[in-house]
């Protein structure tokens, strides 16, 4: 026995079930793809990162609130494969158990005025106490919205860092002074 109008209703129900299965499959795959990543590798653009221990190939990092003085870096770009970052940025690469890149982040400095940092050619920046022997510089002044080293007072600053996007100027001084 057939009822009039049931065929379009069955098609609609099947279409809705198919869409629901596709959404679940996609979100499930995304969750599985991120399952092996560290919290740092799961970061999004605008999140901040604390470097606990710097290393050329195995840094210990963690996401942190951007207002914290330990929020040394802000995520500027996120990629699933190795990519290139802008000159003023530092890269963070995380590899899976198969040695393939699972996350590649481009990080911009997020220094806080009055805080001190250690700078290393191989490990990047790390927040440190200003009295610590490894302190390389102190941020004397942070100027958001401008990328202009001439905003730094040459009488108190011994250097600067310029970030063009978003425009930020960091005037640097001696950590002991």
Of 116 and 28, the one with more pLDDT:
116
Residue 129 has pLDDT above 60, yes or no: yes
pLDDT of 21? 54
For residues 5-16, average pLDDT = 49
Query: From residue 151, how far is each of 59, 107, 118, 157 by CA, in Å?
Result: 33, 24, 23, 10
Q: Which two tokens stand for residue 13?
A: 């129900």
- pLDDT-wise least confident of 26-30, 35-39, 71-75, 90-94: 26-30
Residue 22's SS3 state is helix
Which parts of 54-146 are beta strand (E)? 60-64, 73-79, 90-95, 101-109, 116-120, 124-128, 137-144
User: Sheet of 60-64: strands edge to edge?
Assistant: 60-64, 48-53, 73-79, 101-109, 90-95
Q: Which two tokens stand for residue 115?
A: 């805080």
Residue 109 CA to residue 126 CA, distance in Å, equals: 10
pLDDT of 128? 94
Most confident option among 23-32, 67-76, 90-99: 67-76
- Structural domain boundaries in the chain: 1-35, 38-110, 112-177
pTM of this prediction? 0.73
What are the tens digits of pLDDT across the range 98-117? 888 888 999 999 999 999 99
């Amino acid at each position: 026995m057939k009822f009039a109008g049931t065929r379009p209703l069955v098609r609609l129900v099947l279409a809705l079930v198919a869409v629901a299965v596709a959404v679940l499959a996609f979100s499930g795959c995304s969750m599985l793809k991120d399952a092996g990543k560290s919290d740092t590798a799961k970061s999004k653009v605008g999140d901040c990162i604390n470097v606990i221990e710097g290393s050329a190939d195995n840094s210990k990092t963690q996401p942190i609130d951007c207002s914290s003085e330990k929020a040394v870096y802000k995520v500027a770009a996120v990629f699933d494969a190795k990519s290139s970052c802008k000159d003023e940025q530092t890269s963070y690469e995380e590899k899976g158990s198969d040695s393939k890149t699972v996350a590649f982040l481009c990080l911009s400095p997020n220094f806080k005025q009055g805080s001190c940092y250690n700078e290393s050619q191989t490990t990047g920046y790390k927040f440190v106490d200003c009295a610590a022997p490894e302190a390389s510089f102190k941020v004397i002044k942070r100027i958001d919205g401008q990328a202009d080293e001439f905003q730094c007072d040459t009488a108190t600053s011994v250097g600067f860092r310029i970030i063009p996007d978003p425009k930020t100027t960091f005037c640097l001084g001696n950590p002991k002074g």
